[in-house]
Amino acid sequence: MKALAACWTRVMTAGLMLIAALGARVGAEEIPAVAEAPTTVTVAVLTGGHGYDEPAFEILFDSLAGVEATIVNERDFLTAPAEERGIELPVLQSRDIFLTAPAEERDGYDVVLFYNMIMETPEGDYKEGLEHLGTSDQGIVVMHHALLSYPEWPGWTDVMGIADRKFGYFHDQQVKVHVEEVEHPITAGIQDWEMIDETYTMADADPADGNTVLLTLDQENSMRTIGWTREHGQARVFCLQSGHDNQTWVDPNFREVLRRGILWAAGRL
């Protein structure tokens, strides 16, 4: 009996290992893995001007392998007074601290990700902080409502690639995302997928303006291009229209595209 039990245990163990291996293989086929960055990519995630689900947003960035995110108000990044410039960014609460922090502080991040929505035209130190983007190879990611920021300022057009940012929006849309560029590192091996998100009706990212189209939607109440890359000065830029709330953030394909977009912007893919 003991020998039989031992044999049965070995069979069960082998079977469970085979099931786990097959499951891992299926998962890998659904969302192919890409090479991890040799070191963690540090990201300053700039918020402000638009509410969002803060706990779920933190969970989203915690889930991105190889990414270390600091979430902070955008003005906390662009406008730091001299006496507060050495403080760790998560501590900074003033509305006038981030985009005017000294360049060496801001440039310490591999990527700056914009998730803010500021409709005023930037001025002064804040504008200078934005204009500093692209003067180094620090990556830029523009996500969801950040595409709509600074609608009257041509400088933001240079960053994200769409001049006419008049828009409409539609909540809780069932969308089918089409992978337009199947060989780009951000989208390679990812299949078309469906998810729930907020869509925008606005002008498209035109390839004639230096945009490389990665992801598209084909439905009436949305712009066609929802994911694209471009260059701004020395910087790589990844723009992603998706990402309204946790209905989208929990989607594994969305998470993988966002993760790869950050790594690509940092020059790690």
Q: Is residue 14 part of a domain?
A: no
Is residue 23 situated within a structural domain?
no
In a domain, 13, yes or no: no
Computed over every residue of the chain, the mean pLDDT equals 82
In sequence order, the β-bridge partners of residue 196 are: 174
pTM for the model: 0.81
Kindly state whether residue 9 falls inside one of the protein's structural domains.
Answer: no
Strand partners for 213: 228
pLDDT at 126: 87
Mean local confidence (pLDDT), 52-69: 94
**Domain range holding 198?**
44-265
Domains contained in the chain, number: 1
Within a domain: 125: yes
Phi-psi region of 147 (alpha: psi -120 to 50; beta: other; left: phi over 0): alpha
pLDDT level of residue 30 (50, 70, 90 thresholds):
low
How far apart (Å, rounded) are the C-alpha atoms in residues 119 and 117? Answer: 6
**19 has pLDDT over 80:** no
Amino acid identity, position 215: L
Residue whose entry in the numeric block shows the structure tokens 């005017």: 100
Q: With respect to residue 39, please indicate whether it lies within any of the assigned structural domains.
A: no
In percent, how much of the chain has pLDDT > 90? 63
Instruction: Give tens-digit pLDDT for 200-235.
Output: 999 999 999 999 999 999 998 999 999 999 999 999
Q: What is the mean pLDDT of residues 35-49?
A: 82
pLDDT tens across 231-267, in order? 999 999 999 999 999 999 999 999 999 999 999 999 9
Q: Does residue 33 sit within a domain?
A: no
pLDDT tens sequence across 106-150: 788 999 999 999 999 999 988 988 999 999 999 999 999 999 999
Residue 53 lies in a domain: yes
- By DSSP bridging, strand 41-47 and strand 67-73 are parallel
Q: Indicate which CATH number applies to the domain containing 109.
A: 3.40.50.880
